[in-house]
Structure 1
Amino acid sequence: MADFMKKATGNWQDGLMLLLGIWLFFSPWILGFAGIQSAFWNALFFGVILAGMSIAVVTEFHDWEEWVDMALGVWLVVSPWVLGFAALSAVNAAAYAATMTFVATGVVALALAAWSLRHHHAAHAA
């Protein structure tokens, strides 16, 4: 456990990605969009995957894990439109909260994964 915490704080991007996955998982209840089924299940499913992938990266780094995190980030950004709840954002505060949560979380996840990948390659190149 101490080794995991050392790796998680040493590679802060991966530790923050874990927190991002946990946030995404609990966001339907915190922000009140649990009643929008597509947003609810999207948050639960991808919150677990994002958190799980970040734990995998912290325990043993592989490039493909960061690429998966970047793909998850892209999905999170486009998912409100693909799943259709972004169209409700103008008239429904919960749909607006869900849309903004997915877009913001996706952008941050994409940036953190890219940053982590670059950081790991720069550290091994030196």
Structure 2
Amino acid sequence: MSDFRFFSTHRSWEDWFGMLLGVLIVVSPWFPLQPANEIMTADRSTMILNTFVVGMLVFGLAQLEYVALQRWEEVAEIVLGLWLIASPWIFGYSGDAFLPAWHAILGAVVALLGALQLWQDWRLTDQELANHPQ
């Protein structure tokens, strides 16, 4: 039964992992296996801007969870993860080589992490959330 406790306690490493995911999202357009795009088109700059904004928001929310835990932060992480998954089709870069797959994987991990943290914090009172260990 001690394994179930893993899913019921919010740990600070989860917040650090969320920050790492934010950084990975920001640098994802330059991951290995991506084709070299020396020409900056409007579509590519929109995709990079979207990736930067989503990554910084994920990073900021994870940092905020580490400092002052609130349930809305986890809900926002889930929404950002789903947005990142849908971004290749919204912004029209779903035909790229590996970037849609990277964004689907990173978005799914962000959404799953947010869902896990929301599950862990669902029954906590506001006082218990405020006493989240750092």
Structure 2 unaligned residues grouped into runs of 5+: 1-9, 38-43, 126-134
CA contact (8 A) 1:28 1:98 kept: yes
Match of 2:48 in 1: 40
Q: Does 1:13 align with 2:14?
A: yes
Alpha-carbon separation, structure 1, partners of 2:103 and 2:97: 10
- Give the TM-score normalised by structure 2: 0.72
Please state whether the residue corresponding to 1:96 is helix, strand or coil.
coil
Match of 1:71 in 2: 79
Counterpart amino acid of 1:22?
A: V
Q: Which has the higher contact order (CA 8 A, sep 6+)?
A: 2
Please state whether the residue corresponding to 2:97 is helix, strand or coil.
helix
- Cα 1:29–1:117 shift into 2, 3 Å: same
Runs of 4+ that moved beyond 4 A: none
Counterpart amino acid of 1:109?
A: V
Match of 1:121 in 2: 122
Q: Does 1:60 align with 2:68?
A: yes
Identity %: 26
Alpha-carbon separation, structure 2, partners of 1:105 and 1:33: 19
Q: Which structure carries more helix by proportion?
A: 1
Match of 2:41 in 1: none
C-alpha offsets along residues 40-99 of structure 1, whole Å, 9 cap, x if unaligned? 22211111111011101110101111111111011011110011110x2xxxxxx22210
Alpha-carbon separation, structure 1, partners of 2:106 and 2:85: 8
Structure 1 unaligned residues grouped into runs of 5+: 1-8, 89-94
Match of 2:104 in 1: 103
Rg comparison, structure with higher value: 2
Alpha-carbon separation, structure 1, partners of 2:111 and 2:71: 14
CA contact (8 A) 1:33 1:40 kept: no
Instruction: Tell me the number of residue pairs that the alignment of Structure 1 and Structure 2 aligns.
Output: 110
Alpha-carbon separation, structure 1, partners of 2:36 and 2:82: 22
